[in-house]
């Protein structure tokens, strides 16, 4: 059963910033006639793929999901928050921080950020 994504404001803002950067880069690339996608386009595509995998199966092996202790669950400090990999083995690798809830079959996206 797929999960429904719920967004905290900061995470949604970051997602939209990444989208805008990718679209701007894509427009510039198409205007100049280049075929290869830019770094911004690639990053956004990776974030979307991570979110799709997370929504379908938070335990997908490619996400390398694990508990993350430095971020608090926004709904209940006693419950866990998790980290999922967007990228790996690159400088400033992006991560998605998330938790279950607030309702059953929902996942809340807490933050999308370069690895701290």
CATH number of the domain within which 22 lies: 3.30.2310.20
What is the value of pTM for the model shown? 0.91
Residue 63: exposure state from Cβ atoms within 10 A (0-12, 13-18, ≥19) = buried
Q: In which domain, by residue range, is 54 found?
A: 4-114
Extract the tokens encoding 24. 């701007």
Residue pLDDT, tens place only, 57-103: 999 999 999 999 999 999 999 999 999 999 988 878 999 999 999 99
Q: Indicate the number of domains in the chain.
A: 1
Which run of H or E residues covers position 37?
A: none
Provide DSSP, 55-110.
HH-TT-GGGT-EE-SSS--SS-TTS--EEEES--SSTT-EEEEEEE-SSTTEEEEE
């Amino acid at each position: 059963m797929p999960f429904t994504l719920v967004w905290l404001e900061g995470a949604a803002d970051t997602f939209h910033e990444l989208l805008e950067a990718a679209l701007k880069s894509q427009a510039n690339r198409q205007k100049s006639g280049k075929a290869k996608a830019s770094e911004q386009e690639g990053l956004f595509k990776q974030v979307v793929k991570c979110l799709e995998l997370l929504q379908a199966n938070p335990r997908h092996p490619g996400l390398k999901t694990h508990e993350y202790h430095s971020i608090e669950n926004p709904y209940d400090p006693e419950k866990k928050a998790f980290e999922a990999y967007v990228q790996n083995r690159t400088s400033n690798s992006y991560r998605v921080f998330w938790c279950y809830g607030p309702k059953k079959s929902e996942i809340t996206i807490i933050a999308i950020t370069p690895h701290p």
